């Protein structure tokens, strides 16, 4: 996987929106609702698949193209929300990973799908 240039993607998305005068529609509320819709569209692609089918969807070209398009839509809306709210996505992800490291210490969570407040 190539290194991701979040700022470049955000700038490109901003230009795309401005060229079409769509910023008037891109309130945080609307972007959040659109994100939810796109997430549901991704879920729909997996809804009736078995675990094996979902794990190998990248081997079925037509289905995989749809998955990639939905992932791109989700990421685009997420980045637009971050841009609107001045959220540094790289920073908040790294902060969240650290919080999760503390909530899920390896010695208590290794190999378990248990919620942090249920770990012993």
What is residue 100's predicted lDDT score, i.e. its pLDDT?
96
Which CATH number fits the domain that encloses residue 68?
A: 1.10.287.1080
Structure tokens at 10: 């955000």
Residue 29 — pLDDT band, cuts 50, 70, 90?
very high
Burial class (CB in 10 A: 0-12, 13-18, 19+), 76: buried
Q: How far is CA 97 from the centre of its chain?
A: 15
User: Per the structure, how many domains does the chain have?
Assistant: 2
Residue 76 is given by DSSP the state H
Based on the fold, state whether residues 74 and 120 are members of the same structural domain: no
Percent of the chain with pLDDT over 90: 92
Please give the structure tokens belonging to residue 52: 């094996």
Q: What is the SS3 assignment for 88? A: coil
Angle at 112 between CA 96 and CA 35, to 5 degrees: 40
Give the residue carrying structure tokens 């692609």.
45
Same domain, 93 and 77: no
Same domain, 40 and 21: yes
Residue 120 pLDDT > 90:
no
Q: Do the Cβ atoms of 91 and 37 come closer than 8 Å? A: no
Please tell me the predicted confidence (pLDDT) of residue 2: 82
Q: Are 14 and 58 within one domain?
A: yes
- Domain region containing 113: 88-120
What digits encode the pLDDT tens for the residues 56-115? Answer: 999 999 999 999 999 999 999 999 999 999 999 999 999 999 999 999 999 999 999 999
Model confidence at 1: pLDDT above 80: no
Q: Kindly report the backbone phi and psi dihedral angles of residue 67, in degrees, each rounded to the nearest multiple of 5, phi listed first.
A: -60, -50
Mean pLDDT for the chain overall: 96
């Amino acid at each position: 996987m190539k290194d991701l240039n979040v700022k470049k993607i955000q700038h490109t998305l901003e230009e795309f929106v401005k060229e079409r005068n769509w910023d008037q529609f891109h309130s945080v509320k609307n972007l959040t609702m659109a994100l939810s819709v796109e997430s549901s569209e991704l879920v729909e692609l997996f809804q009736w698949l078995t675990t094996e089918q979902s794990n190998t969807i990248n081997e079925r070209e037509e289905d995989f193209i749809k998955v990639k398009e939905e992932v791109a839509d989700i990421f685009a809306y997420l980045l637009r929300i971050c841009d609107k709210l001045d959220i540094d996505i790289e920073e908040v992800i790294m902060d969240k990973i650290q919080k999760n490291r503390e909530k899920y210490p390896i010695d208590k969570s290794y190999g378990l799908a248990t919620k942090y407040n249920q770990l012993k």
